[in-house]
Chains A and B, each alone.
Chain A
Amino acid sequence: SQTIHQWPATLVQPVGSPLSLECTVEGTSNPNLYWYRQAAGRGLQLLFYSVGIGQISSEVPQNLSASRPQDRQFILSSKKLLLSDSGFYLCAWSAGVGTYQETQYFGPGTRLLVL
């Protein structure tokens, strides 16, 4: 069966520091991968999605970037964090082939607090 991992689970960072969040998927090949941000008490905002290695699409212009160095690895980065980057970061995957490519499954999330 497929599983999705995210780390770290929680992170407290000062303003202006760099960021690297990692997401890995097991049990599937060539998945579609997504990064979402959820502010406290708010909805889900799609940040990036990827349909393959090195293929990244950005949904919202900001100081974040994403990379996919391996098939089942998705990384979210920032060179300088802002206070507004605080939130719950969720990685999700969907099947890369077949009928159900829209069905997304979420990882456990990383809670980021920027001080």
Chain B
Amino acid sequence: GENVEQHPSTLSVQEGDSAVIKCTYSDSASNYFPWYKQELGKRPQLIIDIRSNVGEKKDQRIAVTLNKTAKHFSLHITETQPEDSAVYFCAQSGSNYKLTFGKGTLLTVNP
């Protein structure tokens, strides 16, 4: 079945530093990989996604890279700010348009 491993579970960085979160997946047929940001008490918000026909996608300070051969993808946040503090979830697509989520990474950006 589908499984997504996400690391690290917690990450603390200084404001202005970069943060990287990595996910590995098991379903080689998967071709869609979104990232969600969830602030405390709020809903998960889609922040970026990538499809398997590209290796990298960037949106301002956020980028996602995908390595289909190794079956892993990563979220990169540059020039981190305190408002980036949240839980980040990766996911992979599966059958019937379902998503399998990683367990989440709590990112803390210290001012």
Contacts and interface: CB of A to CB of B under 8 A. Distances in A.
Contacts of A51: 96-97
Contacts of A43: 89, 101-104
A49 B89 contact: no
A34 B93 CA distance: 14
Given A32-B97, A43-B89, A94-B97, A106 B44 contact: yes
- Chain A interface size, under 10 / 10 to 19 / 20 to 34 / 35 or more: 20 to 34
Nearest to A106: B43
Contacts of B45: 106
B46 interface: yes
A57 B97 CA distance: 12
A107 interface: yes
B80 to A, nearest CB: 22
Nearest to B49: A103
Contacts of B89: 43-44
Contact of B43 (A46, A59, A107): A107
A102 B32 contact: yes
A102 B97 contact: yes
Cβ-closest 4 pairs across A and B? A102-B93, A106-B43, A102-B32, A43-B103
Interface of B: 32, 34, 36, 42-46, 49, 89, 93, 96-99, 101-104
Interface of A: 32, 34, 42-44, 46, 49, 51, 57, 59, 90, 94, 101-109
